[in-house]
Amino acid sequence: MSLIKSGLNLTRLGSLPYLLFGLFSSLLSGRVFAVQPFNMPKGVTEISNEVYHLHMLIFWICVIMGVVVFGVMLVSILLHRKSRGHKAAQFHESTTVEIIWTVLPFIILIGMAIPATKTLIAMEDTSNSDMTIKVTGYQWLWQYEYLDEGVSFYSALTTPREEIYNQQQKNEHYLLQVDNELILPVGKKIRLLITSNDVLHAWWVPDLAVKKDAIPGYINEIWTKIDKPGVYRGQCAELCGRDHGFMPIVVRALEQNEYDQWLDKKKSATEEEVANAVDQQTQS
Amino acid sequence: MSAVMTDDHHEEHPSFIKRWLFTTNHKDIGTLYLWLALVMFFIGGIMALIIRAELFQPGLQFVDPQFFNSMTTMHALIMIFGVVMPAFTGLANWLIPMMVGATDMALPRLNNWSFWILPFAFSMLLSTLFMEGGAPAGGWTMYPPLSLQTGNALPFLIFAVHFMGMSSIMGAINVIATILNMRAPGMTLMKMPLFVWTWLITAYLLIAVMPVLAGGVTMLLTDKFFGTSFFNAAGGGDPVMFQHIFWFFGHPEVYILILPSFGVVSSIIPTFARKPLFGYSSMVYATASIAFLSFIVWAHHMFTVGMPLAGALFFMFATMLIAVPTGVKVFNWVATMWKGAMTFETPMLFSIAFIILFTIGGFSGLMLAITPADFQYHDTYFVVAHFHYVLVPGSIFAIIAAVYYWLPKWTGHMYNEKLGKLHFWLSAIFVNLTFFPMHFLGLAGMPRRIPDYNLQFTDYNMMATVGAFGFGLAQLLFLYLVMQTIRGGKKATNQVWEGAEGLEWTLSSPPPYHSFTIAPVIK
C-alpha cells in the first residue's frame, strides 16, 4: 500500500506541475481560440498544391487503414477477454487470409505510387525556364545571384539579439526576417541553382514546396513558378553548425512590372557600387 | 550426477568485482548489458530534457546553440548505441540460451569482451563533453564537411563508434554461433521462438553493416588528420558519398533497432491471449523480407541531395514495398489477439501500445516514402515525430515489456502489478503528448535541430516539453520497480504466466546458473 502511495507521489510531484503549467500558460496567453498552424501549407505554386494533395491523399489512406486495424483490435480487446469468460480459440493459420492481406496493401501502394511518380517527374523537369538564380549557402547566410542580370547580394537574419535573448518583445516574423529578400516575379518559371561554399545547407520554402540541399562541389537544380504575389518564408533545413537555426530565407514575389522596376534599381545601384570601387582603386 | 558435482565450483560467486568483471556467464553478462542500457537511458534522457527545456519557449533561455547541437548529437548516439542496442543484446544473452535449450552462449569469453568494450566506448564518448571545443555537434549522422569542423572530440567520437561496432559484431557472431550450433535436439529452425528468429536475422544485419559504418568514419578520420579528401570536394572527393555510406549502414541499423522488438511482442501477445501466434512462418518470412529490403532503400534518407529521377523513383518504390511485410506482422498480431482469452498485465499493455504506436510510426514512414511529399517533410519535426514513434513507443516499449515479462523468471520475484500498470499509463500518455505534436510542428514548417523558433510553433513545443518531462519522470518509477523486484516480492512460479509457452518457462525461477545442463528434447 505504501509502495503504491509513493508511486503516486512521484507523479504528483513530478509531472503534474509541468502539465498544469503548460496547459495554463497556453490558455492564459490569450491564444485559446487561435489555433497555430498544424498542417502542410497548400502553398502558392502548382507543384506545392499537388504535393499538398498527395500528402492529404496518403494521410487519409493511412487514417482509413488505421481505423480498420485498430478497430478490429479494439473489438477484440473489448470482447475477447478472459474476464468476460471468453474461451481462447486455437486457430493459428489461414493461407487465404494471409494472401489477402499481402496483396491488398500492395494494390493500395500502387494506387499511391502513380500520382507520386507523376508529381515527382514534374518537379524534376527544370527545362524551358525563364530565368536562373544561383543560391549559395554560407555559415550562416545566403547569397543570391541573378545570373542573367549581373545582380548579386547576400541575405542574412535581421532579428535583433535582444529579441533572441528575451530582453525585448519578439516580433511576428521572429527569426524569419532578412536584410535582403530574394525578389522574384510571379508567373515565370524560375530555375534555382543551389550550392554551398562551406558545409551542407538546404534551401527550403514550404509555400513553394522547394527543398534542396546545398552541397559544396555540387550544383543542384530545382525550379518554381509562383502564382501569387506575397512574402514566403523558410529556413535552412540541413544542420550547418552553431547558427543553423538563424539563417532564414525570405522570398518576395512581385508582379512582373514591379519586379522589373526593382531589378532596374538594383542594377543601377550595383553599377554605382562598381564605379565607386573602381574610383577608389584608381585613387589609391 | 558427477557432471553436476564438477560444475559446482561455478555456482560459488567470488567477490563482486571478480564476478562481474571476469564473468563468462550468459545471465551475468545479460544483466550487465541491461544495466548499462538503463544507466545510458537516463543519461540520454537528461540530454533530451535539456533539448526540450530549451525548446519550451521561443528565444534562447538555457543553452548556447552549439551546446544544443551537441545535445541532439549525443542524445541520438547514446540512445541508439548505448540504450536500444545493448538492451537487445542483454535480452539476447539472457534469453537465447534458455529459449533454444543451451547451457550458455557459444562463445563465453568473447561475450565478456563484447560487453566490457562498451563502458570504455561510452566513457570516451561522454568525456568529449568536457573537452575544448565541446562534444560532437554535427548530428549523429556525422555528415561532412560539418563533422570535420568538430574540435578535439572528433577522434574520440570515431574511436567510440569503432568500439561500439566491434562490440556489436562480436555480440552478433556469438548470437549466430549459439543459435546455429547449440539448439536442443529436435528444435529445428522453424520451431524456434520468434525472438530467436528475429535476433538471428538482426545479427546478420549487424555483421553486414557495422563494418560499413566503421569504414565511413575511418575515412572521416583520415580526411581530418591525414590529408585525404574522400569527402572534400575541393580535393576531388564527394561529400554526398559519405551520406550513401552512412545510410547503407543506417537503414539496416533502423531494423537492427526494431526487429528484436518484433520478437518480443510475438512472444508476449500469444501468452496473454492464451492462443498460439498467428502465422508463425509468415512472421519469419516477413522478418527476412524486411531485412532484405533494408539494404536497398537507404537513399530515402537523402532524397533532397539531388539524385537522378530514376534513382529517386527506385528508392521510393522499394521503400513503399516495406509496408507489405510490416503490415503482415501487424495483421498477424491482431489475428493472434482475435478470439483469444486476453488478460492485460503490464507486459501485455506495453505490447498492445507497441502495436498501435509503432503502426502510427509506420504510417508516417509510408508518408515519408512518397518522394514529392518527403521534400516537404525532410529534416523537419515530422521526421523527428516519425522516428521517435518507432523508437520510443516502438523499441523502448518493447524492451520495457520484455523486462516486465521476463523479470519474474530472471529474479524469481513478481513485480508490483499495480505500479507496473501505473508506469504503463504514465508512459503511454506522456509519450504521445511528447511526440504527437511534433507531427504538427514539422508539417507547419519547423526544421529539426534548431534551438529556437518562430512564435507560430510555440504551443506544440510547449506540449512536447511537458510530455517529455512527464515521460522522463515516469521512468524513475520503472527504475524503482526493477530494484524492488530484484530485492524481493511474491515468489514467481516456473511458468510465471498462465499462457506462457517455451523452454525458458520450464526452468526454475530464477533459473540455474547454467541454463540447460541436460539438453531438453523437443517433440
**Average of pLDDT values for A63-86?**
95
Catalytic residue among B143, B255, B280, B405: B255
Answer whether B235 touches A (CB < 8 Å). no
Give the residue from B367, B392, B393 showing the smallest Cα distance to B380.
Answer: B367
Residue B140 a catalytic site member: yes
Section A99-104 average pLDDT: 94
Contact list in A for residue B444 (CB cut-off 8 A) is 36-41
**A280 pLDDT tier (thresholds 50, 70, 90):** confident
Q: Which three cell numbers mark B421?
A: 500498470
For residue B372, give the chain A residue with the closest CA.
Answer: A120
CA distance A47 to A207: 10
Rg (CA), chain B: 23
pLDDT by residue for chain B (523 residues), tens digit each? 334 444 444 556 678 888 899 999 999 999 999 999 999 999 999 999 999 999 999 999 999 999 999 999 999 999 999 999 999 999 999 999 999 999 999 999 999 999 999 999 999 999 999 998 899 999 999 999 999 999 999 999 999 999 999 999 999 999 999 999 999 999 999 999 999 999 999 999 999 999 999 999 999 999 999 999 999 999 999 999 999 999 999 999 999 999 999 999 999 999 999 999 999 999 999 999 999 999 999 999 999 999 999 999 999 999 999 999 999 999 999 999 999 999 999 999 999 999 999 999 999 999 999 999 999 999 999 999 999 999 999 999 999 999 999 999 999 999 999 999 999 999 999 999 999 999 999 999 999 999 999 999 999 999 999 999 999 999 999 999 999 999 999 999 999 999 999 999 999 999 999 999 998 988 7
Average pLDDT, chain A: 88
Instruction: Tally Cβ neighbours within 10 Å of residue B421.
Output: 14
Confirm or reject contact between B241 and chain A (CB < 8 A): no
- Kindly state whether B440 is in contact with chain A, defined as any CB-CB distance less than 8 angstroms: yes
Nearest-CB residue to A36 (from B317, B359, B456): B456
Question: How far out from the chain centre does Cα A116 lie?
Answer: 18
B430 in contact with A at a CB cutoff of 8 Å? yes
| B490 contacts chain A (CB < 8 A) | no
Tell me if chain B has a CB within 8 Å of the CB of A251.
no
What band does A193 get if pLDDT is binned at 50, 70 and 90? very high
Torsion of CA B233, B234, B236, B240, to 10 degrees: 0
pLDDT on residue A272: 83
Residue A66: which of B277, B359, B367 has the nearest Cβ? Answer: B359
Residue B229 annotated among the catalytic residues of the structure: no
The answer to whether residue A30 scores a pLDDT higher than 50 is no
Q: Within an 8 Å CB–CB cutoff, is residue B316 touching chain A?
A: yes
Q: Which residue has the cell 581530418?
A: B224
Q: Mean pLDDT check: name the lowest of A14-18, A112-116, B73-77, B344-348.
A: A14-18
Per DSSP, the residues of B471-491 read HHHHHHHHHHHHHHHHH--SB
- Type and span of the H or E element at B218: helix B194-225
Asked if the C-beta of A267 comes within 8 angstroms of chain B's C-beta atoms, the answer is no
The pLDDT value given to residue B267: 97
Q: What is the pTM of this model?
A: 0.92
Q: According to the model, what pLDDT value does residue B5 have? A: 44
Residues B346 and B338: their CA atoms lie apart, in Å, by: 19
B509: annotated active-site residue: no
pLDDT tens digits, residue range A221-265?
999 999 999 999 999 999 999 999 999 999 999 999 999 999 999
The residues facing B491 across adjacent strands are B413
Per-window interface: A 143-202 vs B, CB < 8 A:
163-166, 170, 172-176, 198-200, 202
> Tell me, what's the pLDDT at A20?
52
A40-49, A266-275, B248-257, range with the lowest pLDDT: A266-275
The minimum CA-CA distance between B333 and chain A, rounded to whole Å, is: 9
User: What CA–CA distance (Å, rounded) separates A137 from A154?
Assistant: 10
CA distance B55 to B489: 41
pLDDT the model gives residue A239? 97
Q: Where does B407-464 show beta strands of DSSP type E?
A: none
**C-alpha cell of B436?**
504527437
Residues near B161 by Cβ (< 8 Å), separated by ≥ 6?
B81, B213, B214, B217
> Among candidates B380, B354, B377, B356, which has minimal Cα distance to B366?
B377
**What is the complex's ipTM, to 2 decimals?**
0.91
Of B27, B52, B300, B386, the active-site residue reads: B300
Distance (Å) from the alpha carbon of A266 to chain B's nearest alpha carbon: 30
Burial B118-151 (b: 16+ CB within 10 A, else e): beebbebbbebeeeeebbbbbbbbbbbbbbbbbe
Helices (H), chain A: 2-28, 46-79, 95-124, 161-164, 256-283
Clarify whether B167 is annotated catalytic: yes
Q: Does B479 touch chain A (CB under 8 A)?
A: no
Chain A residues near residue B273 by CB distance under 8 angstroms: 80, 88
Nearest to B282 among A91, A98, A238 (CB): A98
Q: Chain A within 8 Å of B380 (Cβ-Cβ)?
A: yes
Per-residue pLDDT at A86: 86
Q: Which of B146, B313, B373 has its CB closest to that of A117?
A: B313
pLDDT score, position B10: 52
The pairs formed by B220-227 with CB atoms below 8 angstroms and a separation of 24 or more are: B220/B142, B220/B144, B220/B147, B220/B148, B220/B154, B220/B158, B221/B154, B221/B155, B221/B158, B223/B144, B223/B148, B224/B148, B224/B154, B224/B155, B225/B155
pLDDT computed for residue A111 by the predictor: 94
* Chain A residues touching B337 at Cβ < 8 A: 73, 76-77, 80
Mean pLDDT within A81-110: 92
Burial of B342 (0-12, 13-18, 19+ CB in 10 A): buried
**Which pLDDT band, with edges at 50, 70 and 90, does A12 fall under?**
very low
If you average pLDDT over residues A141-150, what whole number do you get?
94
Asked if B378's CB is within 8 angstroms of A237's CB, the reply is: yes
pLDDT at A31 over 80: no
Instruction: Work out the percent of chain A whose per-residue pLDDT is above 90.
Output: 76
Contacts of A32 (CB under 8 A, 6+ apart): A26
* Cβ contact, residue pair B344, A237, below 8 Å: no
Q: Which three cell numbers stand for residue B283?
A: 512472421
Report helix, strand or coil for B226: coil
Nearest CB partner across the interface for B418, out of A4, A211, A220: A4
Q: Which of B210, B197, B173 is closest to B289 using CA atoms? A: B197
Q: How confident is the model at residue A13 (pLDDT cuts 50, 70, 90)?
A: very low
Buried b (16+ CB within 10 A) or exposed e, B459-470: bbbbbbbbbbbb
Do A38 and B440 make contact, defined as CB atoms within 8 angstroms? yes
- Which position has the higher pLDDT, B14 or A93? A93
Contact B145 A220 (CB under 8 A): no
User: Is A8 a residue whose pLDDT tops 60?
Assistant: no
B439 catalytic, yes or no? no
Residue of A nearest to B433 (CA): A19
B326 catalytic? Reply is yes
What's the rounded Cα separation, in Å, for the pair B351 and B400?
Answer: 9
Answer yes or no: do A200 and B143 touch at CB < 8 A. yes
Option in B234, B320, B338 nearest A80 (CB): B338
Please tell me the predicted confidence (pLDDT) of residue B521: 87
B406 is an active site residue = no
What was the pLDDT predicted at B59?
Answer: 95
Cα separation of B255 and A224, whole Å?
Answer: 37
What integer is the mean pLDDT of A58-71?
96
Amino acid found at B415: Y
Q: Which residues of chain A neighbour B278 with C-beta distances below 8 Å?
A: 91-93
Active site residue B143: no
Distance CA A191, CA B221 (A): 37
Name every chain A residue with its beta carbon within 8 A of the beta carbon of B367: 55, 58-59, 62
